Structure 1
């Protein structure tokens, strides 16, 4: 049985509360979102930072209508309602062996009776960039 949230999970919840307060003050400001996401990526360890930079570039280019926004301290992109569509969970955030790119239910990835919404990314490669491009196009159609 679990004793509750881990230290990393508690830190993420605190970060989310801080983000919500900041977003309330700034509104749906693209510049503020870009700044917070770029700062979050800059703080990442080298491997996660490369993934974060690739993630940011691909999503920005493929879906420029999405607004950069941090999500529990993680880089993400939201729709015009401010709801996260796609995000990056860096490996270092929860001490996992790979980063994860995840899509929330607002993403249109539906494919039959069951489909993936999260993807393990151990390192940024050209193939990862190509696959993420396809996924973001599908998610935002």
Structure 2
């Protein structure tokens, strides 16, 4: 029985938690806001660059969508994956399915995203197998709403 099956964490989950802890330590040590923003952007760029195809292409396109739809959101690693933050808090993120050894990649929105609606029920993540023009248009709308 694997760790995930018996209620423990999988190797990927442990790696993500370790990555997040390292990110938090790095944030605590970082200095000026401009230097931190540049370092965060470089870290996100590096993470995207190391992704295998086709996830890298999706992440690059998603990064362009965020920059165009919500330029106030700043790149920031989130559990070792690309994210985009408002006031230092991640709003939207991308998880590579190939890097996570999952069936599909994920586009997610954190609790900081302004996606709440009157029904009290809204999606916080989406399976992402490809990022065609129709999906990009829908994602753009979600990003605009989430970043409000």
- TM-score exceeds 0.5: yes
CA distance in 1, matches of 2:9, 2:56: 26
- TM-score, structure 2 normalization: 0.88
Q: What per-residue deviation string (whole Å, max 9, x for no partner) do you get for residues 27-47 of structure 1?
A: 542211110000000010111
CA distance in 1, matches of 2:60, 2:93: 12
CA distance in 1, matches of 2:115, 2:40: 25
CA deviation after TM superposition for structure 1 residue 3, in Å: 4.6
CA distance in 1, matches of 2:45, 2:10: 26
* RMSD of equivalent CA atoms: 1.3
Equivalent residue number for residue 88 of structure 1 = 94
Equivalent residue number for residue 4 of structure 1 = 8
Conservation of the 8 A alpha-carbon contact between 1:26 and 1:32? no
CA deviation after TM superposition for structure 1 residue 69, in Å: 0.3
Conservation of the 8 A alpha-carbon contact between 2:86 and 2:147? no
CA deviation after TM superposition for structure 1 residue 14, in Å: 1.1
Q: What per-residue deviation string (whole Å, max 9, x for no partner) do you get for residues 106-135 of structure 1?
A: 111112221111011101211221111100
Does 1:116 pair with 2:123?
yes
- TM-score, structure 1 normalization: 0.92
Structure 1 runs (4+) greater than 3 angstroms displaced: none
Conservation of the 8 A alpha-carbon contact between 2:20 and 2:79? yes
Structure 2: gaps spanning 5 or more residues: none
Structure 1: gaps spanning 5 or more residues: none
Equivalent residue number for residue 141 of structure 2 = 134
